[in-house]
Amino acid sequence: MPPRLEILPDAAALAEAGAAHLADLARRRILDAGRVVIAFSGGRTPWPMFKALAAHALDWNAVVFVQVDERVVPANHPDRNLLHFRRALADRVPLADGHLLPMPVDEADLDAAADAYARQLEAIGGRPFVADVVHLGLGDDGHTASLMSGDPVLDEIHADVAVTARRYAGWRRMTLTLPALNRARHRLWTVTGAARRAALARLLSGDRGIPAGLVTDEDSLVLTDRATADPVP
């Protein structure tokens, strides 16, 4: 069964819809468990959504954000996902201390840093780590998170956090692995851009030939805009 699909009029409407969906999931989880753990992806699409989320009334002391993936770049580099997330949301809301967990991509030993991050995740989300909500994007080549075709990280089944063997767009990446993504309670995909039409069609058809197609479609919602969805049925 494919993930649920909602087509919004444009990218602005998608950002608002995504923020409303995240806020609803967060409120329900906080009511049930007292806290919600949200994993956020990078790229360009999510920042308007997270900026919109900042305007929602939430118990921010009960919200914990972790990263789905991060480029191995200096702290203030414009390609750093964390920098954009801080500007969009974290600097706009009263998150509690320690409720934003950056991936430690500044460490010299990246593999050890990935293991350490996995232990941090277990400390807040149990062992094995279970995120309440994972936000995901989609590349025009069908990748999601930093899980790329042909990279050994795509085949990782034991670790929840790993580092790519290759450079993509100039950088290695630290990423949650498929087991961690598939273990989450909910998945929210946001997909915009005409270049992603073909990849979106493959995702919705359940094509396991792309990394995104290996993510479970259980409790999953895909938000896209009309310009991206056409001619996706």
Q: Residue 1 pLDDT more than 70?
A: no
The vertex-132 CA angle with 190 and 161, nearest 5°, equals 80
Distance in angstroms (rounded) separating the CA atoms of residues 191 and 200: 8
Q: Which residues contact 108 (CB under 8 A, 6 or more apart)?
A: none
User: Which whole-number Å values give the CA distances from 32 to 29, 36, 117, 228, in the listed order?
Assistant: 5, 9, 26, 36
Q: Which residues contact 138 (CB under 8 A, 6 or more apart)?
A: 144, 189, 191, 196, 199, 200, 203, 212
Task: Report pLDDT for 45.
Answer: 87
Which residue, 72, 206, 212, 61, is CA-closest to 142? 212
Task: Report pLDDT for 233.
Answer: 59
**Does the structural domain 4-227 have CATH classification 3.40.50.1360?**
yes
Supply the mean pLDDT for the chain: 95
59: pLDDT confidence band, cut at 50, 70 and 90? very high
> What is the distance, to the nearest Å, from the Cα of residue 192 to the centroid of all Cα atoms in its chain?
15
pTM of the model: 0.96
Locate the domains of the chain by residue range.
Answer: 4-227
Distance in angstroms (rounded) separating the CA atoms of residues 11 and 190: 10
Task: Report pLDDT for 119.
Answer: 98
Q: Residue 66 pLDDT more than 70?
A: yes
What is the β-pairing status of strands 63-67 and 4-8?
Answer: unpaired
